[in-house]
Structure 1
Amino acid sequence: MEQNFTFNRPIGFFIMGLQSLPDSKYYFVFLAFVYIGTLVGNMFLMVIIWQSETLHTPKYMVVFSLSIVDVSHSTALVPKCINQFLFDSRFVTYDLCLAQMFFVHFFYVTESYSLVIMAFERLVSICFPLQSSTIITNTRMFGIIVFSWVLAFAILVAALVLITHLSFCKPVPTVMSYFCDHGPVFQIACSDNSPNLKMAVFFLCAVIYVPLGFILMSYVFIILAVSRITSLDGRWKTFKTCSVHLILVAIFFIPVLVIYIMAWIYVKVDGNTRIFNTSLSAVLPPLLNPIIYTLKTEEVLEQIRKFLRKRSVKPLW
């Protein structure tokens, strides 16, 4: 016997997120400073790379791309959160919700893939030092970056298409997150959301597990290559060039892995704690990435010194 089914697309969603945190007003002030710092830090790093010809290499092409991703990811996420707090406008229309879901997740995926590309560049540079300049040219690196963006676009389009096939019981469902997050949205649907769940598992593998696995594997080969260097000074110098990338990887992957591991072992996490942790893990890496690259990379520091010397105010007499 055929069951009658009415497809209901909601008017919009009610975002029940950061306002529920204790002393949330202080957290929103913190987010505002983080966003300003993210914009200033990443744009300054982009200017340094753009104007310094010595940094026009495949390595810094990825860094430049990562800065674009960091600025875009923060812009897609933080201003809307602050707007919700200032004007108590927690209602988001259906189309705007899908748009935010796409852009926030798209730039999150491209950041993950940027870290993978960095690992690949380090692998080639250290394991094949004589051939690295011919294996990875600027043109090839540009093609790799474009491919990663296209792949991220395809994954997000597939996820959003599945979301549009969901039916919701209420005209304005409540999303238990701080933005229109993919998981919390499909979980409140009334219709069958098993395809969306499968997509979420695929997303987790494609964005977290596979990239992290590739990065860890690349460092196995890097460690083997470094162990063959006879000079202790040479080994230290090589490891130092990798330290920046390893710090970025830890900042990006560890908070997310902790959340999913706790869910996997059935540790019940308070809703506010989950929202606080996931929001921090989303906004802090874009702020810290340019700071770490600036402070721990001698090439960038030297170009900053030259940049500041050129623009220092000269006396009139």
Structure 2
Amino acid sequence: MPLIVLQHQNYTVLENIVLLKFSDGWFFVTFFFFFIYCSILIGNFCILTIIRIETHLHTPMYFFLSNLSLLDILYSSTTLPVMLFNCLSGNKKISFRKCIFQLYLFVSLGGAECILLAIMAYDRFVAICNPLRYPVVMSSRLCASLSATSWLSGFFNSILHTVMTAKLTFCRSEQNINHFYCDVPPLVQVACNPTKVSKILLYVVSIFLGFTPFLYIVITYIHIISTIMKIKSSEGRWKAFSTCSSHLIVVTIFYGTANFNYVGPSGYNLEMENLASLLYSILTPLVNPVIYCFRNKEVKMALKKHFRYTYVKTYR
């Protein structure tokens, strides 16, 4: 059945969403977006590969890191290919059906990452605060269950947002939004029908799925840091803190930009909201491999070992 909108009591077909952020000038940053996308794919695939082939990295922490890398690959793939196509073709339009599908995937994967980052904080809490019980508590079965919970939570949460957004009515058959891709806040802002319920749902679910895990992470790290400070040797304190510093950096970037966009005041500064959207949808998948590779001794050693073996095998 065709999707319809109400316009002065007349039904018309809602065909396209026009992404106004793509102007003629964006053609010149096409290669920049392409470079970012390639970097995201290469970096995260490297992490997935090295964790897969190195048996000593088959631990709960790296299991969750591999989930994070897979999420980042899929997360960026919902937006960047469309952005690249629009930049190259000069076509700012996306069909409403494709827009809703993109929105569903984007919100699903973003929600899953919110939960996964909280799970990774729990993993570090058990490892540092209860190291003797860590192998028992973080069993393979629990890790698999926690990972599945993060993915399923994201996809179920997205159903609510997608259904409510798809039910919105618009004033024209071709609706403009001042954004890079299809997301809930810009579509809610331009809807013609009363959107109070949609806005309330957006805030409530965003606070529950975005702010609550972030609050849990903050409380968890208060306990972790207090435990680290009780370690007598400075070397032991530094080693314990280095295992969770990478995660803290990722959490700060992701939650800081995402909560500003979804939980913060809407519509008062569109340029800042667009910048925040660009940061948490592109920057976090880009920097995650860099942060976890260059700040993680085990990953760096595994990468060096793998590349050295590949070089010797190729040129022997």
TM-score (norm 1): 0.90
Superposition pairs of residues 236-255 of structure 1, within 5 angstroms: 236-255=238-257
Map 1:65-84 to 2 at 5 A: 65-84=67-86
In structure 2, what is the equivalent of residue 200 of structure 1?
202
CA contact 2:22–2:92 (8 Å) conserved in 1: no
C-alpha distance in 2, partners of 1:175/1:32?
23
Kept in 1: contact 2:86–2:92 (CA 8 A) = yes
Give the 3-state SS of the residue equivalent to 2:18 in structure 1: strand
1:303 Cα deviation after fit:
1.2
Aligned residues: 309
Q: What is the rounded CA distance, in whole Å, between the counterparts of 1:261 and 1:230 in structure 2?
A: 41
**Shift of the alpha carbon at 1:117?**
1.1
Distance 1:257 1:191, change over 3 A: closer
Matches within 5 A, 1:6-25: 10-19=14-23, 23-25=25-27
User: Paired residue for 1:62, among 58, 64, 67?
Assistant: 64
Residue 296, structure 1, aligned to residue 295, structure 2: yes
Per the alignment, residue 234 of structure 1 pairs with: 236
Question: What is the one-letter code of the residue matched to 1:121?
Answer: D
Q: 1:205 and 1:316 mapped to 2: Cα distance?
A: 55
Q: Which amino acid aligns with 2:304?
A: R
> Where does structure 1 differ by over 4 angstroms across 4 or more consecutive aligned residues?
4-9, 257-262, 314-317
CA distance in 1, matches of 2:213, 2:315: 55
Q: Is the 8 A contact 1:18 1:276 kept in 2?
A: no
Q: CA RMSD in A?
A: 2.2
Contact 1:175 1:185 in 2 (8 A): yes
CA contact (8 A) 1:248 1:285 kept: yes
Q: Is 1:132 the equivalent of 2:130?
A: no
Change (3 A) 1:182 1:188: same
After superposition, the C-alpha distances for 1:18-47 in whole angstroms (9 at most, x for unaligned) are 427xx4334332211110000000001110
- SS state at 1:131 partner: helix
Which piece of structure 1 moves more, 284-293 or 158-167? Answer: 158-167
CA distance in 1, matches of 2:272, 2:216: 30
In the superposition, relative to structure 1, how do residues 210 and 65 fare at CA in structure 2: closer, same or farther (>3 Å)? same
One-letter code of the match for 2:278?
S
**In structure 2, distance between residues paired with 1:148 and 1:315:** 40
State the alpha-carbon separation in 2 of the partners of residues 191 and 7 from structure 1.
Answer: 14
Change (3 A) 1:194 1:298: same
Check conservation: 2:27, 2:90, Cα contact below 8 A: no
How is 1:33-182 mapped onto 2 (pairs within 5 angstroms)?
33-182=35-184
Q: Percent of pairs identical after alignment?
A: 26
Give the conservation status (yes or no) of the 8 Å contact 1:58–1:138: yes
CA gap of 1:180–1:221, structure 2 versus 1, over 3 A, is same
Structure-2-length-normalised TM-score:
0.90
Q: Which of these residues, 163, 185, 188, is aligned with residue 186 of structure 1?
A: 188
SS at the partner of 1:14?
A: strand
| Structure 1 position 177, deviation (Å) | 1.1
Q: Which amino acid aligns with 1:16?
A: L
Q: Distance in 2 between matches of 1:79 and 1:64?
A: 22
Give the CA deviation at 1:91.
1.5
Distance across 1 between alignment mates of 2:87 and 2:29: 10
Unmatched runs of 5 consecutive residues or more in structure 1: none
Unaligned runs of 5+ in 2: 1-7
Answer with 118-127 or 272-281: which moved more: 272-281
* SS of corresponding position for 2:94: strand
